[in-house]
C-alpha cells in the first residue's frame, strides 16, 4: 500500500463513520425525548455530515477518477464503505444512542486532536474545524452517560445494558491495522498505542463516574468495518440513504 492509498483509505474511514452516524441521528428526527434534545441531536448530526463532506471532498481529489463527494457517499455499496461498525448500530433506546455517541466521540476526539498536527495540511485544517465541534459532542455525550448511568434505577439498568451491547464494537476503534500504522508513520494519524490508552482512560473514567461497569479489555471484539465487512445493518442504512441516487441514476442535479 502506498502512502497515498493509505491516506485515501483513511479519509474514507473518517468520512464514512461520520456519515453513517449522522444518518443514524437523522433517523431520530421528531422522536427525541425532549425538544432540547431534538435540537442537540440534529446539531451533532449536522456537524458529522458536514465533516463527512469535507473528508469526502479530499478523498475524491486523491482518488481522482471523476467521482465527487456525493458519488462517494451515495453510490458506493456496503463492501466499499469503511465506517466503524459502532456507527451503524441501531438507535435502540436513548441509552444506546448516547452510549454509541460517547464511545465514538471519545475516539473521534483523540483522533482529531492528533490529526490537527498532521503533516498533511489539508487533513490538519479539516481536523481543526472538526475538533471544535467534536469537543462539544464529547462533553455532551459524557454528560448523558453520567446522567443516565447515575440517574434512576431504570436509566442505570438501560445504560449498563447499552454499554454491554455496544462494547464488542469498541475494539475496532483502538485496534490498528496496516492503514492506521502507515498513517501514524507518515505523521498523519494518531499513534495507535497512544490512542488506545487515551480512549480507554477516558472511557473508564466516565463510566466509573456514571456508576457503570466496563467489560474487560480482553473481551471478544467484533472487527471488520474498516475493511468493508459490516453488520447486517449497513445494507439497510444505505438502501434508505442512497435511494434517490440509485433510483434515478441519470439525474445529475438535485
Partner 1 sequence: MYAQLVETGAKRVKSLDEMSPEERAFQEKIDAEVKIEPKNWMPEGYRKTLVRQISQHAHSEVVGMLPEGNWVTRAPTLKRKLQLMAKIQDEAGHGLYLYSAMETLGADRDEEIEKLHQGKAKYSSIFNYPTLNWADMGAVGWLVDGAAIVNQVVLQRTSYGPYSRAMIRICKEESFHQRQGYQILLDMMREGTEEQKQMVQDAINRLWWPALMMFGPHDDESPNSQQSMAWKIKRKSNDELRQMFIDQTVPQLEYLGCTAPDPDLKWNEETGHYDFGEINWQEFYDVLKGNGPCNRERIKTRKNAIDEGAWVREAAVAYAKKQKQRAEAA
**DSSP, res 211:** T
Q: How far apart are the first and last CA of the chain?
A: 36
Closer CB to partner 1, 2 or 253, in the complex: 253
Q: Pick from 12, 20, 21, 45: which binds partner 1 (CB under 8 A)? A: 45
Q: Pick from 124, 135, 136, 151: which binds partner 1 (CB under 8 A)? A: 151
Q: Is 33 in the site for partner 1 (CB under 8 A)?
A: yes
Closer CB to partner 1, 87 or 179, in the complex: 87
Q: Is 206 in the site for partner 1 (CB under 8 A)?
A: no
Q: Binding to partner 1 (CB under 8 A): which residues in 174-203? A: none
Closer CB to partner 1, 36 or 64, in the complex: 36
Residues counted in the chain:
254
CA torsion 51-53-54-57 (nearest 10°) is 160
DSSP 109-174: HHHHHHHTT-SSHHHHHHHHHHHHHHHHHHHHHHHHHHHHHTS-HHHHHHHHHHHHHHGGGTHHHH
Q: Binding to partner 1 (CB under 8 A): which residues in 48-87? A: 49-50, 52-53, 56, 69-70, 73-74
Only segment of 147-155, 194-202, 212-220, 222-230 that touches partner 1 (CB under 8 A):
147-155
CA-to-CA distance for 113 and 101, rounded, in angstroms?
Answer: 17
CA torsion 156-222-24-104 (nearest 10°) is 70
Closer CB to partner 1, 46 or 221, in the complex: 46
Query: And the C-alpha cell for 78?
Result: 456496503
Q: Binding to partner 1 (CB under 8 A): which residues in 84-123? A: 93-94
Report in angstroms how near the CB of residue 217 gets to partner 1 at its nearest. 28
Number of C-beta neighbours around residue 100 at 10 A: 26
Interface residue list for partner 1 (CB under 8 A)? 23, 26-27, 29-39, 42-43, 45-46, 49-50, 52-53, 56, 69-70, 73-74, 93-94, 146-148, 150-152, 154-155, 158, 240-241, 243-245, 248, 250-254
Amino acid at each position: 500500500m502506498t502512502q497515498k492509498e493509505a491516506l485515501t483509505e483513511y479519509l474514507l474511514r473518517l468520512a464514512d463513520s461520520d456519515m453513517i452516524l449522522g444518518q443514524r441521528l437523522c433517523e431520530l428526527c421528531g422522536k427525541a425525548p425532549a425538544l432540547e434534545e431534538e435540537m442537540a441531536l440534529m446539531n451533532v448530526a449536522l456537524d458529522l455530515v458536514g465533516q463527512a463532506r469535507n473528508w469526502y471532498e479530499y478523498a475524491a481529489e486523491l482518488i481522482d477518477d471523476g467521482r465527487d463527494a456525493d458519488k462517494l457517499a451515495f453510490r458506493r455499496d456496503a463492501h466499499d464503505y469503511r465506517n466503524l461498525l459502532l456507527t451503524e448500530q441501531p438507535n435502540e433506546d436513548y441509552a444506546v444512542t448516547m452510549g454509541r455517541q460517547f464511545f465514538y466521540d471519545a475516539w473521534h476526539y483523540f483522533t482529531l486532536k492528533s490529526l490537527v498536527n498532521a503533516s498533511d495540511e489539508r487533513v490538519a485544517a479539516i481536523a481543526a474545524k472538526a475538533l471544535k465541534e467534536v469537543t462539544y459532542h464529547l462533553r455532551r455525550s459524557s454528560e448523558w452517560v453520567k446522567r443516565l448511568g447515575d440517574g434512576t434505577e431504570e436509566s442505570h439498568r438501560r445504560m449498563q445494558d447499552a454499554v454491554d451491547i455496544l462494547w464488542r464494537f469498541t475494539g475496532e476503534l483502538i485496534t490498528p491495522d496496516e492503514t492506521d500504522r502507515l498513517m501514524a508513520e507518515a505523521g498523519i494519524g494518531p499513534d495507535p498505542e497512544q490512542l488506545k490508552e487515551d480512549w480507554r482512560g477516558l472511557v473508564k473514567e466516565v463510566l466509573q463516574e456514571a456508576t457503570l461497569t466496563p467489560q474487560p479489555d480482553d473481551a471478544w471484539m467484533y472487527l471488520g468495518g474498516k475493511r468493508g465487512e459490516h453488520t447486517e445493518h449497513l445494507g439497510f442504512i444505505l438502501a434508505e440513504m442512497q435511494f434517490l441516487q440509485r433510483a434515478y441514476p441519470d439525474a445529475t442535479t438535485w
